[in-house]
């Protein structure tokens, strides 16, 4: 047990998505951080997926399996890797990974099987988290509370906030970002970053924009990300008569430049575990408008009696309130915008660094391992 308490750990991290998202970014940061701290981290990832490619490029240990890991052939491959590596910790980075890794691990005697919970809505079923995992790590208190409300015991749930690499944020260049979008000095850039899926609330942002543009015709809204709603959102923007002021940029590798280029970062989600891009905007010192969905209030300090107001906020699924918050942020005196942005940056530096995320994850691993050995 001494090794588990203080020594190097062997961790297998499982991820199933084909594309890149916030969860994959956190998995990459965690794998790198574990290696830097002297732990062995092997990653089981979807064959040909974005995470597998990125981690191979990083020189990390990667084993691939077909599809989302739900086919018996995938289970056999995953089980073979687990039997050979014999990890102390098996960490499922997403819900499909919990099924794939959890089923493949049955009977192998792995001391701690951990599942990440990145969403803040209530679990459809707590069964896999009870029987295929020994513990759950929620990315926010809201995500952890959703697990408890589904019936998971308190002792099996931990909170570890997502982390951001400050160096990546600092690499952003405002001039480069604005030049890349062809913006004039007078243009005020509103930036939204996230997959184009229902939970991210882009449709409410589009409904809010006509009121914003009526007062600020110089505003431009850039939407970064791709997903199944892209065509529907593009059509919505045209119907609302704002298509000429909204740019759908798709997946971008220059997000740090775009965040620095923004005059306002907007997060319109109506379901959100935490949102790592929001944390990047906080680190970048950009003024922020966000909803109060899920774990977002924890990030921006909304409702924190000991904290300052770090952002403008609006209830989720409420386009008029979102428009009012955006207008309040755009019309605020520059000193107020600067003060809130500085507050957000200080909060991010205190709570949301990648170093803290990795260290807290290791502490959670050791805690679950100690429980398994007691």
Mean pLDDT of residues grouped by 10 in the chain (374 residues)? 74 95 94 98 96 96 91 92 97 95 95 95 86 95 94 94 94 96 96 96 98 98 96 98 97 95 98 95 97 96 77 97 98 96 95 97 97 77
Cα separation, 288 vs 308, whole angstroms: 14
pLDDT of residue 122: 81
pLDDT of residue 2: 42
Alpha helices in the chain (DSSP H): 2-6, 22-36, 50-57, 72-85, 95-105, 127-131, 141-149, 166-170, 174-180, 202-215, 230-239, 255-261, 276-283, 296-300, 319-331, 334-351, 354-373
pLDDT of residue 1: 39
Q: Which CATH architecture has domain 2-163+353-373?
A: 3-Layer(aba) Sandwich (3.40)
DSSP secondary structure string, 58-76?
Answer: TT-EEEEESTTS-SHHHHH
Cα separation, 10 vs 34, whole angstroms: 9
Q: How far apart are the first and last CA of the chain?
A: 10
Superfamily classification of domain 166-351: Glycogen Phosphorylase B; (3.40.50.2000)
pLDDT of residue 6: 75
Q: Where in the chain is the domain with CATH 3.40.50.2000?
A: 2-163+353-373, 166-351
Task: Please report which helix (H) or strand (E) contains residue 313, including its range.
Answer: strand 312-314
pLDDT of residue 307: 67
């Amino acid at each position: 047990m001494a090794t588990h308490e203080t020594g190097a750990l062997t961790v297998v991290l499982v991820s199933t998505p084909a594309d890149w998202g916030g969860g994959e970014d956190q998995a990459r940061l965690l794998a790198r951080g574990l290696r830097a701290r002297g732990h062995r981290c092997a990653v089981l990832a979807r064959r040909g997926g974005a995470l597998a490619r990125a981690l191979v490029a990083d020189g990390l240990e990667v084993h691939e399996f077909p599809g989302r890991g739900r086919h018996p052939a995938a289970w056999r491959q995953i089980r073979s890797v687990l039997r050979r590596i014999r990890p102390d910790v098996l960490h499922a980075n997403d819900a499909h990974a919990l099924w794939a890794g959890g089923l493949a691990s049955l009977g192998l005697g792995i001391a701690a099987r951990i599942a990440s919970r990145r969403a803040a809505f209530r679990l459809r079923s707590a069964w896999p988290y009870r029987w295929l995992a020994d513990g759950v790590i929620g990315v926010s208190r809201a995500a952890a509370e959703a697990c408890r409300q589904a019936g998971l015991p308190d002792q099996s749930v931990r909170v570890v906030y997502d982390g951001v690499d400050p160096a990546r944020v600092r690499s952003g260049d405002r001039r480069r970002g604005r030049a890349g979008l062809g913006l004039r000095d007078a243009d005020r850039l509103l930036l939204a970053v996230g997959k184009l899926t229902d939970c991210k609330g882009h449709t409410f942002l589009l409904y809010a924009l006509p009121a914003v543009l009526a007062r600020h015709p110089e505003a431009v809204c850039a939407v970064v990300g791709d997903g199944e709603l892209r065509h529907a959102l593009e059509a919505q923007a045209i119907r609302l008569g704002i298509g000429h002021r909204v740019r759908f940029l798709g997946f971008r590798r220059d997000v740090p430049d775009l965040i620095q280029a923004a005059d306002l970062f907007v997060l319109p989600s109506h379901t959100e575990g935490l949102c790592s891009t929001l944390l990047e905007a906080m680190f970048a010192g950009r003024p922020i408008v966000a909803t109060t969905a899920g774990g977002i209030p924890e990030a921006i300090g909304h409702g924190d009696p000991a904290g300052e107001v770090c952002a403008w906020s609006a209830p989720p699924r409420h386009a008029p309130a979102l428009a009012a918050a955006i207008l309040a942020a755009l019309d605020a005196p520059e000193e107020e915008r600067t003060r809130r942005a500085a507050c957000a940056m200080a909060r991010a530096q205190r709570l949301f660094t990648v170093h803290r995320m990795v260290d807290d994850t290791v502490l959670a691993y050791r805690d679950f391992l100690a429980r398994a050995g007691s």
